[in-house]
């Protein structure tokens, strides 16, 4: 039994419930003493000595040798030499923001977690989004799963929900994680390719590990190339437990649903964005928050009674499976808002340390073997990355709840613990710090009943590797299916060893023969009747491989709407970026009317022109240019508007970069509008005016309205087959 308060003296604890709840600004206030602002200040050394000359080192005569005595030079260079810390072994590339979380109504029926009880309570949070495979400096637009890690600074301690934007994972057991990551990372002999899964070692591994197939379907879909961090879902992936005030437990899957809907770019765009703006997602998040267009997500829960644990055609402990929303609906229970950018990337985004083991009373773990492995990994990795056991004292990692324990010392210790006692039990310290009883929100592990033999095995249902991969495929719209096929053709097309490609086509045939056929065609292969040898190579020595081969279990759901982005929110053009393509002689009225309509709808418009500075308008006015054509591409925008003005559109029609700009927007199925002589630019780009929005007579409010509707649709996929013939 867990020990309740042990109190050798009459000192009484201050139960957390008795303390005033921390205000939502508490984390920002806590960070304040650590913030530094050099405005109007004099330059000093790290010791506070004011520096008179920061231009010259100390030398014997102007052309003589430097002196070891120069403590200012040495301090500066030494600090510089030590600026780098190891980047995260995975999820190295990321961007983050501050915000808050608010529950809609008390969740006491499910959990006793204090931050989920009171709808008026705003819990401060810090969220970090990331890619997995690439280095810290790699492109944001890699085809990859995105990390979606949320740190809740609750009054009961930090709760970290360290999830991804894809609800399943590649592997079922933590022991395979280093293998997976070694396979996907740049190949070790020549460190190629960066931030890409399109290479032999990744597909060699995947083709031997059928448990990855479901995840592969997601990663080959456009989910792996989001339009924005603000437009992707988040998932806790594992099944967790909720524990209520009476000690009753239920299983839970955590979801984040973006209010702007789930949207992606096309692979061709991703490749081009990687060149035009490799910081695309990072910039997008930063700019939205600076503009006050705060990104928002709803927290969703799929709650499953403990008694229902075994009623599904999959195992709840298997992280390669989803719980279809048709079987257990997602309850939307609260909202996350990001409203503040970090002040300093390194201090906050780089040094933040997440850990799935950071939980609060009312939230507990399951025996998912991937989750169990993660519980070990995250502290371990911080010890290396952040240099020692005191990383919780780095300002961004400090809980807003007080810390009192007998942990002491270590590298870079900040806390000055007072008193002579650093052990428990004690009488010299009055028994403090005391253990917290349940009433004082002491964490008590859920007493799950377990009995069994020690084995290195997995649950039987874990071996159904393909049913949900097929479910995902069946649930996609036609354009989404096409994109998956193209992604697989691209990825496997980069694989040099033929047998790997062939084996992978064989694996895909287990998901769907049409899918496999389409991929095979692109690779110049045929779908084999049967995979050569056994399907699953993740088999222990001395085991019977037959026992490890995939099984097929009957599933209740054959098609799930929630899995397709075609069914997402498409009712807003908010925060969408529109390029207004113009040159000297543009009609200011057309620009103004459209700009006002876009701004009123919360969209952002930018003037893109052949040169920077300002444009001379047709009416003699000046139109300030935001970007020259040289510095951007339509891949960085959601839509394009070409206003009239004969000299302007003549210049654009004769400018190859302007024509390419429009062609690419068309090819990527984006909303395009042209007014007045703007149609001439469409003609020069050989775009059928029927396929886009045009008005020869100039812009009206109705036209702007129709344009906004088209932007809200994200893309016009009906144009795609035709658009693929566009040379751009
Ligand atoms: Fe992680 N993962 N992971 N992971 N993970 C890390 O921790 C690990 C897994 C996820 O923005 C590391 O602090 C193992 C699943 C995110 O700082 C490391 C296994 C999911 C982030 C680590 C997994 C994730 C990480 C590297 C298999 C989705 C970035 C740096 C057992 C639910 C957090 C660090 C941030 C980071 C280990 C699998 C999500 C090495 C061993 C599944 C979002 O500890």
pLDDT digits (tens, 9 = 90+) for 490-519: 999 999 999 999 999 999 999 999 999 999
Stretch (H or E) spanning 722:
helix 720-723
Confidence (pLDDT) at 21 = 75
**Cis peptide bond upstream of 425, omega within 30:** yes
685 Cβ below 6 A of ligand 1: no
In a mutational test of the pocket of ligand 1, which residue from 135, 354, 356 has the highest number of ligand atoms less than 8 Å from its CB? 354
Question: Using CA positions, which residue lies closest to atom 38 of ligand 1?
Answer: 374
Q: How far apart are CA 178 and CA 180, in angstroms?
A: 5
The pTM of this model reads 0.96
Q: How far apart are CA 492 and CA 298, in angstroms?
A: 37
94 Cβ below 6 A of ligand 1: yes
Q: How far apart are CA 359 and CA 448, in angstroms?
A: 17
By the 8 A CB rule, do 57 and 66 touch? yes
DSSP helix/strand/coil, 45: coil
Q: What are phi and psi of 430, to 5 degrees?
A: 65, 25
Q: What are phi and psi of 296, to 5 degrees?
A: -135, 145
Kindly write down the DSSP assignment for every residue of 22-61, as one continuous string.
PPTTHHHHHHGGG----TTPPPB-TT-PBPS-SS---BSS
Ligand 1 center from residue 168 Cα (angstroms):
13
Ligand 1 center from residue 241 Cα (angstroms):
19
**pLDDT for 318-375, tens place per residue?**
999 999 999 999 999 999 999 999 999 999 999 999 999 999 999 999 999 999 999 9
**Cis peptide bond upstream of 371, omega within 30:** no
Query: In the chain, which residues have pLDDT < 50?
Result: 1-10
354 Cβ below 6 A of ligand 1: yes
484 Cβ below 6 A of ligand 1: no
- The rounded radius of gyration (Å) of the Cα atoms in the chain is 29
Q: How far apart are CA 223 and CA 491, in angstroms?
A: 16
Return the ligand 1 atom nearest residue 238 CA: 32
Task: Tell me the torsion sign for CA atoms 216, 218, 222, 226.
Answer: negative
Confidence (pLDDT) at 532 = 84
DSSP helix/strand/coil, 152: strand
Best CA proximity match to 86, nearest among 40, 125, 51, 135: 135
Strand partners, 639: 578, 671
Terminal CA-CA length for the chain:
69
Return the ligand 1 atom nearest residue 128 CA: 11
Confidence (pLDDT) at 1 = 37
Return the ligand 1 atom nearest residue 169 CA: 42
Ligand 1 center from residue 329 Cα (angstroms):
27
Stretch (H or E) spanning 338:
strand 331-340
By the 8 A CB rule, do 534 and 240 touch? no
By the 8 A CB rule, do 481 and 515 touch? yes
Q: What are phi and psi of 671, to 5 degrees?
A: -65, 130
Confidence (pLDDT) at 2 = 38
Q: What is the bridge-based pairing of β-strands 639-642 and 577-581?
A: parallel
164 Cβ below 6 A of ligand 1: yes
Ligand 1 center from residue 319 Cα (angstroms):
14
Measure the CA angle with vertex 584, ends 580 and 587; round to 5°: 60
Paired tokens of 357: 């083991």
Ligand 1 center from residue 522 Cα (angstroms):
34
Q: Which residues neighbour 298 within 8 Å (Cβ) at sequence distance 6 or greater? A: 256, 257, 259, 332, 333, 334, 335, 336
Q: Which residue has the tokens 């193209």?
A: 486
Q: What are phi and psi of 321, to 5 degrees?
A: -125, 145
Q: How far apart are CA 406 and CA 388, in angstroms?
A: 17
Catalytic residues: 91, 164
Best CA proximity match to 322, nearest among 514, 179, 82, 330: 330
Return the ligand 1 atom nearest residue 130 CA: 11
In a mutational test of the pocket of ligand 1, which residue from 378, 379, 392 has the highest number of ligand atoms less than 8 Å from its CB? 378
By the 8 A CB rule, do 436 and 4 touch? no
Confidence (pLDDT) at 326 = 97
User: Where do runs of H (alpha helix) occur along 553-619?
Assistant: 588-600
Paired tokens of 340: 């503040």
């Amino acid at each position: 039994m867990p020990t309740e308060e042990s109190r050798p003296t009459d000192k009484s604890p201050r139960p957390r419930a008795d303390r005033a709840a921390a205000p939502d600004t508490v984390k920002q206030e806590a960070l304040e003493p650590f913030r530094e602002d050099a405005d109007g200040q004099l330059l000093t050394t790290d010791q506070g000595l004011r520096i008179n000359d920061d231009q010259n080192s100390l030398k014997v005569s102007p052309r003589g040798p430097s002196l070891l005595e120069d403590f200012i030079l040495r301090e500066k260079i030494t600090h510089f030499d030590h600026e780098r810390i190891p980047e995260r072994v995975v999820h190295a590339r990321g961007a983050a923001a501050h915000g808050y979380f608010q529950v809609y109504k008390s969740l006491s029926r499910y959990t006793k977690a204090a931050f989920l009880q009171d709808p008026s309570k705003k819990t401060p949070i810090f969220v970090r989004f990331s890619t997995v495979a690439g280095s810290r400096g790699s492109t944001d637009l890699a085809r990859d799963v995105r990390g979606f890690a949320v740190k809740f600074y609750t009054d009961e301690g930090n709760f970290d929900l360290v999830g991804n934007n894809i609800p399943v994972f590649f592997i079922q057991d933590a022991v395979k994680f280093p293998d997976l990551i070694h396979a996907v990372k740049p190949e070790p002999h020549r460190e190629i390719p960066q931030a890409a899964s399109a290479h032999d070692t990744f597909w060699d591994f995947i083709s031997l590990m059928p448990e990855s197939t479901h995840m592969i379907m997601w990663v080959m879909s456009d989910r792996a190339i989001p339009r924005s961090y603000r437009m992707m879902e988040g998932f806790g992936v594992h099944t967790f437990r909720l524990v209520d005030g009476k000690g009753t437990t239920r299983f839970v899957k955590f979801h984040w649903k973006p209010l702007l809907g789930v949207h992606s770019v096309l692979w061709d765009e991703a490749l081009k964005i990687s060149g035009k703006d490799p910081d695309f997602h990072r910039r997008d998040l930063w700019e939205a928050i600076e503009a006050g267009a705060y990104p928002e997500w709803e927290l969703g829960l799929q709650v499953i009674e403990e008694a229902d644990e075994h009623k599904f055609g999959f195992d709840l402990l298997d992280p390669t499976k989803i719980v279809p929303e048709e079987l257990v609906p997602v309850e939307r229970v609260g909202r996350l808002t990001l409203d503040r950018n970090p002040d300093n990337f390194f201090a906050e985004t780089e040094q933040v340390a997440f850990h799935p083991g950071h939980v609060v009373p009312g939230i507990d773990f399951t025996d998912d073997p991937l989750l169990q492995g993660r519980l070990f990994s995250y502290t371990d990795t911080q010890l290396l990355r952040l240099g020692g056991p005191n990383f919780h004292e780095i300002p961004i990692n400090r809980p807003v709840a007080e810390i009192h324990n007998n942990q002491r010392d270590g590298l870079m210790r900040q806390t000055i613990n007072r008193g002579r006692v650093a052990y428990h039990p004690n009488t010299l310290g009055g028994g403090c710090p005391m253990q917290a009883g349940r009433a004082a929100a002491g964490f008590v592990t859920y007493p799950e009943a377990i009995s069994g033999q020690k084995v290195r095995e997995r649950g039987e249902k874990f071996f159904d590797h393909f049913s949900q991969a097929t479910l995902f495929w069946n649930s996609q719209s036609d354009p989404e299916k096409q994109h998956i096929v193209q992604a697989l053709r691209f990825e496997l097309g980069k694989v040099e060893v033929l047998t790997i490609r062939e084996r992978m086509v064989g694996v895909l045939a287990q998901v769907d023969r049409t899918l496999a056929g389409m991929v095979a065609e692109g690779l110049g292969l045929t779908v084999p009747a049967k995979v050569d040898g056994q399907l699953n190579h993740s088999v222990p020595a001395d085991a019977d491989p037959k026992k490890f081969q995939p099984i097929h279990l009957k599933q209740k759901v054959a098609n799930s709407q929630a899995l397709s982005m075609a069914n997402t929110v498409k009712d807003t053009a908010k925060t969408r970026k529109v390029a207004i393509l113009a040159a000297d002689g543009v009609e200011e009225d057309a620009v103004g009317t459209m700009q006002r309509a876009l701004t009123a709808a919360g969209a952002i418009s930018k003037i893109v022109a052949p040169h920077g500075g300002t444009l001379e308008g047709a009416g003699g006015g000046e139109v300030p240019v935001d970007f020259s054509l040289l510095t951007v591409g339509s891949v960085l925008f959601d839509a394009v508007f070409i206003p009239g003005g004969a000299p302007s559109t003549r210049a654009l029609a004769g400018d190859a970069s302007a024509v390419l700009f429009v062609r690419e927007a068309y090819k990527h199925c984006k909303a395009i509008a042209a007014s007045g002589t703007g149609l001439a630019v469409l003609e020069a780009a050989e775009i059928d005016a029927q396929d886009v929005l045009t008005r020869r007579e100039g812009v009206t409010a109705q036209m702007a309205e129709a344009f906004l509707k088209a932007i809200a649709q994200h893309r016009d996929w009906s144009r795609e087959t035709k658009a693929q013939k566009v040379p751009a």
